[in-house]
Amino acid sequence: MSERHELDAQTRPRLMPLPEEHWDARARKLLAVAPRDPGGRVPNIFTTLVRHPDLYEQFMPFGGQLLRRGRLPERLRELLILRTSRNTGARYEWGRHLPLAKAAGVTDADIDRITEGTEAHGWTDLEEHLMRAADELHSDARLSEATWEALAGYFDDAELIEIVMLVGQYHMVAFFLNTAGVELDPGFERMGFTEGGRNHA
């Protein structure tokens, strides 16, 4: 297969969102409480993942705990998610979290820095440590002693656990999105997303 055809194959969905006319009673019950986009549309991630209803049912409370009820400040949470999205090449994850990040105070300058990594000019010390944490978890599946100690100066034990679990959660989500080829929903954009995220700084 040529490189062009291989790229085309990678960008076509392997799993399509489950059409509403194919929702059985359980899928309808699960999706009835899913977050919805303006106009009432259920995002593609949920209508695709619901093809495995048992997993969907368990996944949603865990993801909701990290995203909606976590201990980390919203802005810092979104910085970690966007850096993880960039590291994993997860276009969908990036596009869906841009509005959340901006609502939490992430600026266009921050978004530019996220694509550059820890060496970008303008990070605070804490933000630089968080970017390094996302990168280390991505590349090494653990935090270095230096990064752990640095973060421990800002966060308590529960928050340190949450940082690791948050980055891990969005790796898992990226694996699903990238492999299934879930398409970004209408009305969302990938502003600032750059390819080659796995070659992070």
Thinking of the domain 72-180, which architecture would CATH place it in? Answer: Up-down Bundle (1.20)
**pLDDT at 193 (0 to 100):** 84
* Amino acid at residue number 184: L
| Contact status, residue 44 vs residue 70, Cβ threshold 8 Å | no
Distance, in Å, from the CA atom of 180 to the CA atom of 91, rounded to the nearest integer, reads: 12
* Amino acid at residue number 176: F
pLDDT per residue as tens, the chain (201 positions): 444 444 444 568 999 999 999 999 999 999 999 999 989 999 999 999 999 999 999 999 999 999 999 999 999 999 999 999 999 999 999 999 999 999 999 999 999 999 999 999 999 999 999 999 999 999 999 999 999 999 999 999 999 999 999 999 999 999 999 999 999 999 998 887 875 554 333
Domain residue extents for the chain? 3-67, 72-180
**pLDDT at 6 (0 to 100):** 47
**pLDDT at 195 (0 to 100):** 58
Distance, in Å, from the CA atom of 126 to the CA atom of 134, rounded to the nearest integer, reads: 13
**pLDDT at 10 (0 to 100):** 55
**pLDDT at 191 (0 to 100):** 81
**CA Rg value for the chain:** 17
Sequence-distant (6+) residues with CB within 8 A of 35 are 43, 46
